Amino acid sequence: MIPPVLNMALNIIDCVEKMELKPIKPKRISDQVFEQIRELIYKGTFAPGQQITPERNLAASMQVSRTSVRNAINKLVTMGMLEHRQGQGTFVASPENRRGNPLAAAMATEEATLDDLLEVRLGLETNAAELAARRATEQDLLAIEKSLLEMEEDMINQGHISTNADAAFHMAITFATKNPVLIHLMRNFYDFLFIGIRKNLTHMYQRQGEHENVLDHHKEVYEMIKNRKAKEAGELMRSHINYVQEYFRQHHSSS
């Protein structure tokens, strides 16, 4: 008589052998184009309201067919990340107007508060800063530095930091972690992040010097990432988000 444990093992093996296995399909070119364009949006290379590069130019740069580019763009339009404007071209949609994102919808209707958002960011981004300090490539560092330069230009030209540059900074750090789970979470979190940062910066614009403080915080985090000081990078990111959180609480309670 076959022992019960052995019988169970044989049954499992039999089930596995009978499973319908499907051949592995290589990733479609249009999907790879989609991922690249989406990443450019997340990193702020294609900013909200900006017209994206024409299909033929994208196809030439990526060395793919215009059909692959068109399919990728149509997918991004369906997702609400891009929008076609009749007679003008294709533009990056603003996260505030983007349809179908439950997080953004909750934020817009105040079902979720800025404080709720900052509590979530505290965990995700403190960890991201630490991982980025350990894993960032030269290209990652350049992407983070690029967003910092855009913030500085904003301060010089406008007197305040733009939402796009600020969000791009945090997304660039996320991509530098090389952690696919964290990147996936922040991709899905992006609209919420963008809207939250815009609201934070709008509140902070009411007090002289607050945007300069925010810029300094970002520079300090970048320096720690660049110098591979993981613990310090995480602590500074935590300190920055705590600073914004405390400012918001004071502003909210006094309004």
> Domain containing 82 — which CATH number?
1.10.10.10
Question: What average pLDDT score do residues 135-142 get?
Answer: 96
- Of 44, 71, 93, the last residue of a domain is 93
The answer to whether residues 86 and 132 belong to one domain is no
Res. 155: pLDDT tops 80: yes
The mean pLDDT value of the chain amounts to 83
pTM: 0.71
Give per-residue pLDDT as tens, 21-76.
556 567 788 888 988 898 888 887 888 888 998 899 999 999 999 999 999 999 88
> Alpha-carbon distance 104 to 99, whole Å?
9
- Of 41, 63, 93, the last residue of a domain is 93
Q: Is residue 34 part of a domain?
A: yes
Q: What is the DSSP letter of 97?
A: G
| pLDDT tier at 126, thresholds 50, 70, 90 | very high
Q: Is residue 85 part of a domain?
A: yes
Find the distance separating the first CA and the last CA of the chain, reported in whole Å.
79
Rounded alpha-carbon distances, angstroms, from residue 242 to 121, 127, 186, 213, 236: 10, 14, 19, 13, 10
The answer to whether residues 130 and 155 belong to one domain is yes
Q: Give the closest residue to 195 by CA, choosing from 91, 115, 94, 120.
A: 94
Q: What's the confidence (pLDDT) of residue 255?
A: 42
Question: What average pLDDT score do residues 240-245 get?
Answer: 92
Does residue 151 or residue 249 have the better pLDDT?
151
Per DSSP, helices labelled H in 136-229 are 138-157, 163-176, 180-204, 210-226
Question: What average pLDDT score do residues 83-104 get?
Answer: 75
Q: What's the confidence (pLDDT) of residue 47?
A: 81
Q: What's the confidence (pLDDT) of residue 16?
A: 47
> Alpha-carbon distance 95 to 163, whole Å?
11
- List of E strands, the chain: 82-85, 89-92
The answer to whether residues 243 and 206 belong to one domain is yes
* Percent of the chain's residues with pLDDT above 70: 80
| Interior angle at CA 75, CA 70 and CA 76, nearest 5 | 100
Q: What's the confidence (pLDDT) of residue 81?
A: 85
Range(s) of the domain holding residue 117: 102-254
| Interior angle at CA 148, CA 145 and CA 152, nearest 5 | 140
Res. 125: pLDDT tops 90: yes
> Alpha-carbon distance 234 to 132, whole Å?
9
Q: What's the confidence (pLDDT) of residue 177?
A: 97
Q: Which residues contact 145 (CB under 8 A, 6 or more apart)?
A: 222
Give per-residue pLDDT as tens, 204-240.
766 777 888 999 999 999 999 999 999 999 999 999 9
User: Quick one: CA torsion of 80, 172, 147, 187, rounded to 10 degrees?
Assistant: 20
The answer to whether residues 217 and 250 belong to one domain is yes
> Alpha-carbon distance 132 to 127, whole Å?
9
Q: Indicate the helix (H) or strand (E) that contains 242.
A: helix 230-254
Least confident of 70-79, 119-128, 187-196: 187-196
Q: What's the confidence (pLDDT) of residue 99?
A: 57
| pLDDT tier at 152, thresholds 50, 70, 90 | very high
Report the domain count for the chain.
Answer: 2
Q: Are 154 and 123 within 8 A, CB to CB? A: no
The answer to whether residues 133 and 61 belong to one domain is no
> Alpha-carbon distance 29 to 254, whole Å?
53
- Of 69, 93, 117, the last residue of a domain is 93
